[in-house]
Structure 1
Amino acid sequence: MKKFDLIIRGGSVVLPTGVAQTDIGIADGKIAAIGAELAGEAKQEWNAEGRHVLPGMIDVHVHFSEPGREHWEGFTTGSAMMAAGGCTTFFDMPLNGIPSTVTEEALLDKARLGNEKSVVDFGLWGGLVPGNEDDLAPLAEGGVIGFKAFLSTTGNKEFEAVDDMTLLTGMKKIAALGKILALHSESAAITNWLKAEKEAAGQFTADDYLETRPIIAEVEAVERALYYSEITGCALHFVHISSAAAVAKIEAAKARGMNVTVETCAHYLLFNHDDLRTRGNIAKCAPPLREADEQQKLIALLAEGKFDMLSSDHSPCPYDMKDPKDFNLFEAWGGISGGQFTLLAALEVALAHELPLEQVAAWTAANPAQRFELADRKGRIEIGMDADLAIVDLNETFTVTEDNYYAKHKQTLYMGHTFPASVVGTIVRGQVVVQGGKVSEATPQGSWQKPVGIPSSEPALPTF
């Protein structure tokens, strides 16, 4: 008789081919069997009748600020928050730590911290900034998921935006390394000029902020990056795209055979500019939340399959940086805290628009795994894959409160929002890290995940 570590019984399992009520047998961290009424012994069983089992979410875009700014968010609180939302793997962006992840030394230091503290698996982005072009090859060989650069002013002296010469040189090198460049695509020239105009006039309202970061600034940056990609052959991933016009440019590039993917974020789907008008700085992000009609366009594009994936762009800070008493949006930190809620947001959109759950699984797991070379082990519920699972209840609502939000700082645009579904369980490589909606206090078991072709075993990481 076959022996399993865990059998999940009777759930409605979201497979690549559709939803089936079946059992999942897990052994040694892998999915070992899938079938109705599995025979065998198990150390543990989970009755998932009435629940749905999805592949664990892969969030390709979060900002944990460790080392150096753990008081913003670190691996301990950040990974617990991701687990609570059904996320089993996240990719940490390179810019908010001190040092930023722009050298191999910084990469290995961050990986060491993640291996020690994270309760879920993780990947790490490297950065492209002026002056680190010679660091790109060591970072690629070290195991970065890809590289990130900004076309707009970052406001972060440790991670500056790229000028055009750095961008072209970096893209040529990244193409030769076979890696992907992720881009924050807003025109620095347009946004900085408009901001200076508003500040000179003493205009600091929500509408003024939106007007400094118009859709045309996103479109110009996307189009320029695509031209540079054609010249250099560099694969691109556009992060947090917020407009239909920018998606149209990316769709045209795909039709020409270019190697490009695009994500949007949960907050662009669930919220709009009215939230910035009424709720203030807590709703500030860049690109900004758009008007309601643009929000509806984004939802329609997602339903049509024009977005490859969803991410959170979880970008927290100590709340005094949001400056809640002074409504000068230009000085407040620009980021949405909400990494816990992307899978729930995807389910909310899917249920509201009668979209199949296989589409949710593609947005949140299969497509990220495929794009970033983890599909040999992540992203699908199949025999031989890592047992990374999210168990959700589509009949139990979830209202965000300070008590059930696991981030370090509890202020979030999502506070008080009620989702039509809830995450009741999260399993990472066969280990139960969330049960009954509560994150386990067991020893962290997360592991640094590298793309296919990068050795996963290597000598012990150095201590710095």
Structure 2
Amino acid sequence: MNKPQSVDLVIHGGTIVSDTHQFAASVAIDNGLIVAVGADHTMPAATERFDASGLHLLPGAIDVHVHFRDPGYDYKETWESGTAAAAMGGTTTVFEMPNTHPPTADPAAVADKLERAHSNAYVDFGVYGLLAENNVDQLEALAEAGVIGYKCFMGNTFGNLPSPSTGAMLEAFERIAPLGLRTSLHAETASIMAWRYERLKAAQRNDALAHVAARPSVVAVEAVARAAILSEWSGARIHVLHVSSGAELRPMAEAKARGVDITAETCPHYLRFNTDDYARLGSVIRVNPPVREAHDSDALWRGLADGTLDMIATDHAPHLPEEKHNDVIWDADCGFPGVETQMSLMLDSVNAGQLSLCDYVRISSVAPARAWGLHPAKGRIGVGADADIALVDMARAETIDQNMLHSVNARISPFHGMRVTGVPVHTLVGGRFVMRDRRLVAEARGQGRNVKRIQNMPAADVRNADRTLAAELARAPGAAS
């Protein structure tokens, strides 16, 4: 690419971080794209020059798992407040979940949600379509409507959307496989949880740890293994959301070894907390799946290091404070805000020696960009990429304060009061500041774009195409030839 005569912005003095190395360089940005990376004296003239001395430049985080509650539950969160939180947290792209009201289960619901996002988002976005029992015939239409992928609730959570039967899942996977899109899975087995929940509730187990007892790790292990088998049969791409237990790593590693296109994430709360924290945090820590034992946290760190776990996400799931506080654990809503605190928590872990800064770039940006076909436009600081950059101060210390979160209606966090070192201080999306000097740039509202515009998923390895349900129905007497 020829160096332009003049550009919008040059960032100089900082250290660029990729998933493999760090180096001092300047970055030239024009019309939303990175047009040059190199020594400062080689940069073109610029309308603005920004001094990033002492800062590290990271590709903006891509959070493939957020719930912004809009439409239907916007008293908890909106596209405006949720993406403001993302911008403040160094996250430049978010994928929003379909358990809104109405759920994102048909093209009309997709169009409505995309309109809300375009009008209000500070950061780039994609939206998931729902994979449910009653909309299998809508999956191709959802793809045409512009979803980034699909979400399948194998276990119940907020919104109480019915979990599809295994038969419906298989047909859905057979229909999705040729599209190449990835299906994200809430991988917990609904029937086991429902059985245990009813028995525990009847026994008056209302304490916080009863939530863990209702959802032991076997519910996730069974669901992951079952989904991997269906993926292996059909060739459909899958992603396992919010991995909470070490036991899940075995079926995921085995599936990868068999050639299944399966990726997986964990979340900061599973790395930072364990069952010892329930006595202190009570119902605030309630989340699906639950925070588990200390040995699970240790195993998840190892999974991130060896690649069994591909990425970090947040399961950002805001609720009002009064919805979170309850002495009866079953009556407390599940989840809490996370998109604003993820980067600081993980950078603090970098400073603590639990992973390298390059590792963090790999799990927060590079891996999700590759898994959803957004690379090379996203996930890197290089010529031709979108200028989505988080400028972080690795020496800056702050205390997480839930009262300052930009999820303004859901200011309750289990991370409240936690001291962290390593903070995003500026965030750029498409070459424009959305957060500068730890302050939201209000004028940036509505500048976020749908990442579907750049999604380029390679052709999937479709399997057993001659034995899909559609193929067998075509052989029925009287079927159209």
Q: Same fold per TM (> 0.5)?
A: yes
Query: 2:337·2:412 contact (CA, 8 Å) conserved in 1?
Result: yes
State the alpha-carbon separation in 2 of the partners of residues 347 and 16 from structure 1.
14
State the alpha-carbon separation in 2 of the partners of residues 139 and 14 from structure 1.
36
| 1:196 pairs with 2:198 | yes
State the alpha-carbon separation in 1 of the partners of residues 140 and 111 from structure 2.
14
Instruction: Map 1:84-233 to 2 at 5 A.
Output: 84-95=88-99, 97-154=100-157, 156-157=159-160, 159-233=161-235
Tell me the residue number matched to 1:383: 383
Query: 1:184·1:239 contact (CA, 8 Å) conserved in 2?
Result: yes
Uncovered stretches (5+) of structure 1, i.e. residues with no partner: 455-464
Give the match's secondary structure for 1:420.
Answer: strand
Note closer, same or farther for the CA distance 1:194–1:180 as it changes in structure 2 (3 Å cut): same
Shift of 1:403: 4.9
Note closer, same or farther for the CA distance 1:168–1:317 as it changes in structure 2 (3 Å cut): same
Query: 1:58·1:368 contact (CA, 8 Å) conserved in 2?
Result: yes
Letter of the 2:315 partner, please give it.
D
State the alpha-carbon separation in 2 of the partners of residues 345 and 319 from structure 1.
22
Query: 1:5·1:43 contact (CA, 8 Å) conserved in 2?
Result: yes
Shift of 1:41: 1.6
State the alpha-carbon separation in 1 of the partners of residues 40 and 407 from structure 2.
38
Shift of 1:106: 0.5
State the alpha-carbon separation in 1 of the partners of residues 428 and 157 from structure 2.
36
Tell me the residue number matched to 2:355: 355
Tell me the residue number matched to 1:13: 16
Letter of the 2:157 partner, please give it.
T
Tell me the residue number matched to 2:434: 433
Q: Which residue, out of 19, 26, 35, partners 1:32?
A: 35
State the alpha-carbon separation in 1 of the partners of residues 18 and 332 from structure 2.
43
State the alpha-carbon separation in 2 of the partners of residues 198 and 230 from structure 1.
35
Shift of 1:353: 2.4
State the alpha-carbon separation in 2 of the partners of residues 373 and 438 from structure 1.
31
Letter of the 1:89 partner, please give it.
T
Q: Which residue, out of 301, 310, 321, partners 1:308?
A: 310
Tell me the residue number matched to 2:367: 367
Q: Which residue, out of 37, 42, 51, partners 2:55?
A: 51
Letter of the 2:53 partner, please give it.
E
Aligned-residue identity in percent: 35
Query: 2:252·2:308 contact (CA, 8 Å) conserved in 1?
Result: no
| Residues 147-179 of structure 1 deviation map (CA, whole Å, 9 limit, x = unaligned) | 00111123525x321122211111111113222
Query: Which range moved further: 42-51 or 105-114?
Result: 42-51
State the alpha-carbon separation in 1 of the partners of residues 232 and 140 from structure 2.
21
Tell me the residue number matched to 1:66: 70
RMSD: 1.5
Shift of 1:411: 0.9
Shift of 1:79: 0.3
Give the match's secondary structure for 2:40.
Answer: coil
State the alpha-carbon separation in 2 of the partners of residues 447 and 269 from structure 1.
31
Give the match's secondary structure for 1:346.
Answer: helix
Tell me the residue number matched to 1:41: 45
State the alpha-carbon separation in 2 of the partners of residues 373 and 430 from structure 1.
21
Give the match's secondary structure for 2:115.
Answer: helix
Tell me the residue number matched to 2:412: 411
State the alpha-carbon separation in 1 of the partners of residues 209 and 101 from structure 2.
33
State the alpha-carbon separation in 2 of the partners of residues 402 and 313 from structure 1.
17
Letter of the 1:50 partner, please give it.
G
State the alpha-carbon separation in 2 of the partners of residues 114 and 155 from structure 1.
21
Letter of the 2:216 partner, please give it.
P
Query: 1:10·1:36 contact (CA, 8 Å) conserved in 2?
Result: no
Shift of 1:127: 0.5
Query: 1:154·1:161 contact (CA, 8 Å) conserved in 2?
Result: no
Uncovered stretches (5+) of structure 2, i.e. residues with no partner: 458-481
Letter of the 2:296 partner, please give it.
E
Note closer, same or farther for the CA distance 1:16–1:222 as it changes in structure 2 (3 Å cut): closer
Instruction: Map 1:263-302 to 2 at 5 A.
Output: 263-302=265-304
Query: 1:10·1:49 contact (CA, 8 Å) conserved in 2?
Result: yes
Note closer, same or farther for the CA distance 1:309–1:441 as it changes in structure 2 (3 Å cut): same
Tell me the residue number matched to 2:471: none
Give the match's secondary structure for 2:411.
Answer: coil
Tell me the residue number matched to 1:462: none
State the alpha-carbon separation in 1 of the partners of residues 12 and 404 from structure 2.
27
Note closer, same or farther for the CA distance 1:403–1:191 as it changes in structure 2 (3 Å cut): closer
The TM-score, its normalising length taken from structure 2, stands at 0.91
Shift of 1:354: 5.4
Letter of the 1:410 partner, please give it.
R
Query: Which range moved further: 12-21 or 113-122?
Result: 12-21
Shift of 1:261: 0.4
State the alpha-carbon separation in 2 of the partners of residues 314 and 288 from structure 1.
14
| 1:337 pairs with 2:337 | yes
State the alpha-carbon separation in 1 of the partners of residues 20 and 38 from structure 2.
14
Shift of 1:85: 0.4
Give the match's secondary structure for 1:277.
Answer: helix
Query: 2:320·2:412 contact (CA, 8 Å) conserved in 1?
Result: no
List structure 1 segments (4+ residues) > 4 angstroms apart after TM superposition. none
Letter of the 2:65 partner, please give it.
H
